[in-house]
């Protein structure tokens, strides 16, 4: 069976954002065009962030795929862990604030920033 690699940014049981790796089986199509199941989506947004962009800590408002179309995006977590995603790479952002919890920038969420000399261009696809 062929699998599609899915990097997930999620909220762990302690309220902190973490990365994990999952897979999606590609069970349909032909040997030349392997496909996953069809997943529902709720719209998309395009974003362009200039050189030097950096956000503060925040949580994802609603689970969404993030596709890097141009430039590079670094995602930083509490404790100093970070990952850089470049053109053609993606991750599933699902680090939502736990229900009934007030946001605390010392505990929750992630920050993002543009990396390198090119503006960051992203596509956000709501799950």
The rounded mean pLDDT for the chain is 97
Domains located in the chain, CATH noted: 2-126 (2.60.120.10)
Check residue 56 and give its pLDDT.
Answer: 98
Query: pLDDT, tens digit, for every residue of 88-102?
Result: 999 999 999 999 999
CA torsion angle for 91, 92, 98, 104 (degrees, to 10)?
Answer: 20
The residue to which tokens 């599933």 are assigned: 92
Beta 90-94 vs 2-11: how paired, if at all? parallel
- Does this model's pTM top 0.75? yes
Query: pLDDT, tens digit, for every residue of 6-53?
Result: 999 999 999 999 999 999 999 999 999 999 999 999 999 999 999 999
């Amino acid at each position: 069976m062929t699998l599609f690699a899915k990097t997930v940014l999620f909220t762990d049981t302690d309220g902190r954002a973490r990365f994990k790796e999952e897979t999606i089986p590609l069970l349909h199509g032909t040997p030349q065009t392997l496909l996953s199941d069809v997943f529902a989506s709720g719209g998309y947004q395009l974003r362009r962030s200039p050189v030097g962009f950096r956000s503060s800590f925040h949580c994802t408002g609603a689970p969404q795929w993030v596709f890097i179309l141009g430039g590079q995006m670094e995602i930083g977590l509490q404790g100093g862990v970070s990952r850089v995603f470049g053109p053609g790479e993606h991750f599933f952002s699902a680090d939502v604030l736990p229900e009934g919890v007030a946001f605390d920038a010392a505990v929750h969420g992630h920050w993002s920033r543009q990396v390198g000399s090119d503006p960051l261009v992203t596509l956000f696809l709501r799950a």
